[in-house]
């Protein structure tokens, strides 16, 4: 098991503080963070390229934070691959094998096996400058795997690839994970994490702010930052006023002049309210029944989304509803159209501001 | 567009004038030397010995200095250490001080009556009026060309490639030999050629430390001083011709054979 204990890293003017993290064997661990949040620095520190100021990096209980780069059980795949431009694909991959001191035949067999695993057999004699982004990333993966690392560290491996290459490489990464490898992957893309990770951690301003399975983090973000990061569109800063309505603990959340009713047992105070676009219900006419958080609004924009359409509605504050194509067609939504909006009180999630 | 054309024309004229300034005196040397004179000079044993001595001493200076100069260039390119700027300044010193002064300074250290010169003499190494002295003088004045060129080459090698090599299990030495050095080789070779060429043309420092045995630039000066311009021209033409040929061949070898996409 790989464990980071109160790791403190300082590189130039950049600082990561109190990083506590646990990566279990066989995990596909994704570290999420915005650009400049220190993800790459953390990976480089694990690989031994930077010395931590304080804290420990433990592998099965042994502190490796002072070990030489070459001795660490980790191989790093750079975002831009860092392939050696003067060596052919085969020699790039073989570079990682040198340390294993294999005889010629073993080396050739190992190379063949690696090339088959990552699907680069046909690229053998090519030079890195002639490879596409996806091919280069596969070669970088093969080169890292050649070292037989216990932990494979991936620095945004999909970010510079086109859609087709990205999906191919995702399949490859999933297959490496299925083979039992432990991967630590950093990215700023939550969808990438959803598609690949068994566990995720979110890094904000040099600190880990939440850890869990991708679904846990997506459904229960612990802060406004995490909520925005995982793609929640309805995130409002405001103030909660708690009240008791017939035994159910309710709150009235004030955002500017608008008030949302929300089910929560939190005490009142400043914080933020989150709800998913899927939980926003749009109606073309005022319903006869009394619905929670019912209000009148005007459509401001209609944007195609991966699963249907995103509808921006101004109800005094701007909210976003996510509708399926059929429902959106039925309501004939277009900018300027007046609609009624309802949001279940149970759908909203209040997060108190940290003291 | 019109303005751009005028600018282009003006720059071409200015550049052409400069090229003429370099080429004209060299062409004049060849125009004023007949082919029989050139052949006769080339057959003169004293001239051949002198040119041979110049070529090998300069080559020796370059190769001997390459061993410490290339690692130093890597250090300067990769590491920030205390007095980094001072070290860079010291390397530039031979370029800024007059070469005759450099010769005097070297003589002050390497003469037999100095501790270093005395110690070398005990080991059987003579500097004054000896090829070893010529090598030292040539190395002293031409070393900055190699270090600067190699340093620029190492700076152009992305550091993450060296890090990737270390991460793949390579020792720092292996990373240097298999990644940094091959990727910087064009600049290093250019530096070696420049250092060697600069050594060939050295006069001021060499003439102080070792007038004899006579290297080509000293012999040209000697012939000019003793017999006048007419007698110095054939030797000058021959030496310039050899230098040009070697320089072109080495630049071609160093520069255009391999194109490395970093």
Rounded CA gap, A43 and B165, in Å? 16
Q: What's the CA dihedral at B176, B177, B183, B187 to 10 degrees?
A: 90
Rounded CA gap, A103 and A93, in Å? 16
Rounded CA gap, A314 and A339, in Å? 10
Nearest CB among A74, A82, A85 relative to B260 is that of A85
CB A314 within 8 A of CB A259: no
Nearest CB among B167, B170, B171 relative to A47 is that of B167
CB A309 within 8 A of CB A303: yes
The lowest-confidence range among A251-255, B8-12, B132-136, B154-158 is: A251-255
CB B207 within 8 A of CB B128: no
Nearest CA in chain B to A128: B261
* 3-state SS, residue B202: coil
Neighbours of A212 (CB within 10 A): 16
DSSP A60: T
Strands of A113-198 (E only): list them. 151-155, 182-187
Of chain B, the percentage scoring pLDDT greater than 70 comes to: 95
What pLDDT is recorded for position B259? Answer: 41
Joined together, the tokens standing for residue B29 give 């040397």
What pLDDT is recorded for position A228? Answer: 87
Joined together, the tokens standing for residue A135 give 């091919």
Assign domain B44-261 to its CATH superfamily. MetI-like (1.10.3720.10)
Chain B residues 144-203 within an 8 A CB cutoff of chain A: 158, 160-161, 163-171, 174, 178-179, 182-183
Neighbours of B257 (CB within 10 A): 9
End-to-end Cα, chain A, rounded Å = 34
- To the nearest 10 degrees (0 to 180), the angle between helices A133-146 and A163-178 is 20
Rounded CA gap, A238 and A353, in Å? 10
Nearest to B138 by CA among B65, B228, B231: B65
Determine the Cα angle at B132 with ends B130 and B135, to 5°.
120
DSSP A18: E
Burial level of B259, CB count in 10 A (0-12/13-18/19+)? exposed
State chain B's maximal CA–CA distance in angstroms.
Answer: 73
Put simply, whether A85 touches B (Cβ < 8 Å) is: yes
What is the model's pTM? Answer: 0.83
Q: What are phi and psi of B209, to 5 degrees?
A: -85, -30
What pLDDT is recorded for position A355? Answer: 64
Joined together, the tokens standing for residue A229 give 């990061």
Q: Do B161 and A82 touch (CB under 8 A)?
A: yes
Q: Is the pLDDT confidence value at B261 over 60?
A: no
Q: What is the mean pLDDT of each run of 10 residues along chain A (355 residues)?
A: 94 86 95 87 92 94 93 93 95 90 90 91 92 94 93 92 89 94 94 92 89 90 88 89 72 88 86 90 88 91 86 92 86 89 88 78
Q: What are A5-51's pLDDT values in tens digits?
A: 999 999 877 888 889 999 999 999 999 988 888 888 999 999 999 99
Q: Do B169 and A99 touch (CB under 8 A)?
A: yes
Rounded CA gap, B177 and B162, in Å? 10
Rounded CA gap, A168 and A170, in Å? 5
CA atoms within 13 A on the CB side of B95: 12
Is the ipTM above a cut-off of 0.85? no
Joined together, the tokens standing for residue A87 give 């060596």
* 3-state SS, residue A283: strand
Put simply, whether A156 touches B (Cβ < 8 Å) is: no
Residue A129 C-alpha, separation from nearest chain B C-alpha, in angstroms: 6
Joined together, the tokens standing for residue A206 give 């040099």
Q: What are A245-280's pLDDT values in tens digits?
A: 666 678 889 998 888 988 888 888 899 999 889 899
Mutation to test the B interface, candidates A11, A70, A131, most B Cβ within 10 Å:
A70
Q: Do B261 and A85 touch (CB under 8 A)?
A: yes
Q: Give yes or no for a cis peptide into B170 (omega within 30° of 0).
A: no
Residue B22: which residues within 8 A CB-CB, separation 6 or more?
none
Q: Where are the domains of chain B?
A: 1-31, 44-261
Determine the Cα angle at A284 with ends A279 and A288, to 5°.
85
- To the nearest 10 degrees (0 to 180), the angle between helices B84-96 and B45-78 is 160
């Amino acid at each position: 098991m790989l464990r980071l204990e109160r790791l403190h890293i300082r590189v130039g003017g950049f600082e990561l503080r109190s990083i506590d993290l646990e990566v279990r064997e066989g995990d596909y661990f994704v570290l999420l963070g915005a650009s400049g949040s220190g993800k790459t620095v953390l990976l480089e520190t694990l690989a031994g390229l930077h010395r931590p100021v304080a804290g420990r990096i433990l592998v099965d209980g042994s502190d490796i934070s002072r070990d030489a780069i070459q001795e660490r059980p980790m191989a790093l795949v750079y975002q831009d691959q860092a392939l050696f431009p003067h060596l052919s694909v085969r020699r790039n991959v073989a570079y990682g094998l040198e340390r294993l001191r294999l005889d010629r035949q073993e080396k050739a067999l190992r190379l063949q096996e690696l090339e088959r695993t990552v699907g680069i057999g046909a690229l053998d004699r090519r030079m890195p400058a002639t490879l596409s982004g996806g091919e280069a990333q596969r070669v970088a993966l093969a080169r890292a795997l050649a070292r037989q690392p216990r932990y494979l560290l991936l620095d945004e491996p999909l970010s510079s690839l086109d859609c087709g290459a990205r999906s191919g490489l995702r399949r490859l990464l999933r297959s490496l994970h299925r083979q039992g490898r432990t991967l630590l992957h950093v990215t700023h893309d939550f969808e990438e994490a959803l598609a690949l990770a068994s566990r995720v951690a979110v890094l904000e301003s040099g600190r880990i702010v939440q850890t869990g399975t991708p679904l846990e983090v997506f459904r229960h973000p612990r802060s406004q930052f995490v909520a925005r990061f995982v793609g929640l569109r309805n995130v409002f800063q405001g103030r909660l006023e708690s009240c008791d309505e017939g035994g159910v603990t309710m709150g009235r959340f004030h955002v500017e002049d608008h008030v949302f009713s929300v089910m929560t047992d939190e005490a009142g105070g400043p914080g933020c309210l989150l709800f998913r676009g899927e939980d926003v219900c749009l109606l073309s006419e005022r319903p006869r029944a009394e619905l929670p958080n019912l209000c009148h609004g005007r459509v401001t924009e209609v944007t195609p989304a991966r699963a249907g359409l995103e509808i921006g509605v101004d109800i005094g504050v701007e909210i976003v509803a996510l509708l399926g194509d059929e429902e959106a067609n039925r309501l004939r939504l277009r900018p300027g159209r007046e609609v009624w909006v309802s949001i279940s009180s149970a759908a909203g999630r209040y997060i108190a501001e940290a003291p | 567009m019109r303005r751009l054309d005028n600018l282009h024309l003006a720059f071409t004229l200015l550049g052409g004038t400069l090229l003429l300034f370099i080429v004209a005196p060299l062409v004049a040397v060849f125009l004023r030397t007949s082919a029989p004179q050139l052949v006769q000079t080339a057959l003169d044993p004293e001239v051949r010995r002198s040119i041979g001595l110049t070529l090998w001493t300069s080559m020796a200076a370059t190769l001997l200095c390459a061993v410490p100069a290339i690692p130093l260039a890597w250090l300067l390119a990769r590491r920030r250490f205390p007095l980094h700027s001072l070290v860079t300044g010291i390397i530039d010193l031979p370029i800024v001080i007059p070469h005759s002064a450099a010769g005097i300074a070297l003589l002050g250290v390497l003469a037999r009556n100095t501790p270093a010169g005395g110690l070398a003499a005990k080991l059987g190494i003579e500097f004054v009026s000896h090829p070893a002295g010529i090598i030292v003088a040539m190395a002293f004045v031409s070393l900055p060309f190699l270090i600067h060129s190699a340093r620029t080459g190492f700076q152009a090698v992305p550091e993450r490639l060296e890090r990737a090599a270390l991460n793949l299990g390579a020792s720092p030495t292996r990373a240097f030999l298999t990644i940094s050095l091959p990727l910087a080789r064009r600049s290093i070779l250019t530096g070696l050629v420049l250092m060697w060429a600069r050594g060939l043309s050295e006069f001021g420092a060499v003439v102080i430390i070792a007038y004899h045995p006579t290297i080509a630039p000293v012999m040209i000066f000697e012939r000019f001083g003793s017999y006048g311009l007419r007698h110095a021209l054939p030797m000058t033409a021959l030496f310039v011709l050899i230098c040009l040929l070697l320089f072109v061949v080495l630049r071609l070898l160093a520069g255009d054979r391999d194109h490395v996409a970093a």
